[in-house]
A and B are shown apart, each in its own frame.
Chain A
Amino acid sequence: MPGAGFLRLTDAIYETYIGVSMTIVWAGLSLGAVYALVALCLNITLSNTGIFNFAQPHFLMLGGFVGFELQSRWGMPLLLILIVCGILGGFVGYLEERLAIRPLGTHRGHAVLVTTVGFAVALEGAIIVYWSTDPYPFKLMASTQALDLLGGRVLPVDLVLIVLAISVMALLVLAQRTKWGLAGTAATLDSDVARLRGINVERVTTGAFIAAGALAAALGPVVGSKIGINHTIGNNLVVLTFAALAVGGFGSYVGCVLGGLITGLLQLATTYAFGDEWPLIILLAFLLAVLLLRPTGILGARSLRSV
């Protein structure tokens, strides 16, 4: 019967292309969610202090290692792992601000690039000393069964990452509208004027580093169960997260997620379409195109301030 043949044909097309494509979309979104989460953490210090903290992905790496330790050796439950990682990350964030930022004074210039990179190296060194350079397999979630969702298949951990990226973004957008968030924005735009208006800029800066450190470290175990744990995660994440931020727009939390998801999707879709030698080239070409058309990124600040 022609009708049955047509149905078989449409089934075949669905199975071959749409089903597979949706699975790649989920995988791309999941990878993009990793970039988005790191970008969100980076954006906390960026939008509240104007500092691009190169050590931020290393907090995530630290959280991954600590989470692995707490799970494998101490058998700690997930919630407690996340809390402990968050507290530790907050403390290390505080240390970074006191050791690598505060001594530079109010007119830091490009010195923060050097000191935050230095802190990243120190953090990585400490991790190597304690955990060595061995990679660790890490599964935070017991279930590894793929789920059928919207015509594709997705692993539970992938789904958690996507939901987490959107949830964290929403929380940060709300936080930006609080007194603390507004103070951070004011301090970033002009710290001298902010001081005149009674804002304690130093406290805002310290708070931003503590919050970003705590969030990144708490996310470490979740991200680690997707990408594994090893001492190179921090450096590896910096490059593509920077690309995600540039695409989405520096300073915008929604832009972080948008840029991250686009980066992840583009990476896996181009691998599928052209093979594994092309994604980075295409990604960089896309980044250049975005920056040429919108130098501030898709959702970055839309006007430049003239002084």
Chain B
Amino acid sequence: MPEAMGFFTDTTICIGCKACEVACKNWNQLPATNGGVSELSGDSYDNTRKLDGTHWRHVKFIEQFEGPYNGRWLMMSDVIDMNPAAGTAQKCTLCYDRMQVGLEPACAKACPTDSIQFGPIAELRTRAQKRVDQLKAQGEKRARLYGDDPNGPLGGLNSFYLLVDEPEVYGLPRDPKLPSRNLKSSGVLSAATGAVLGLVALVGLRKRRMDEIGGGGERGSEN
């Protein structure tokens, strides 16, 4: 099996230029407008409108494939979005066409500070831990990795982060869970409710019959 590849995003050196967003749209031929409205600032080479977690979310979680038509969603997130030109939902492919010829994804390539790095997960984890140690030595005690632990939530994320604040501040869930966690309990409770309502319907019919037997004489005189 080929080595697992993924992203490491060091948020401490992100300057919010959005070159990654522009590169993604450019390489994948995605429109920069939606309904005629520009989704990029377009005022200058600095594309910053806002610097918060929602913009890194775009490369947050990657779908794990176990085979064709047997995909397992890791998380519902902005990785899946509408392409207003195509009118369909699309998601990050890690620039699969670039990877075929040995190039890294467009976003990582365009990043001027190497805040987004792409490579073998194991190698990225080692590099990320070194960076955390460096930051701590410099006095940034809050530095920590998010999603790197293979024994952590969801068995580690193939797109993980270096944070210096609470995950929520970056738009990341504290304890990411699969949405399908609710499927069984929700399905069972619905089926049980269906059974109760079915019973209510049948009890009503039975009562109708009993009432008629009980009130038979009265009904006879009516007829």
A and B are interacting partners: no
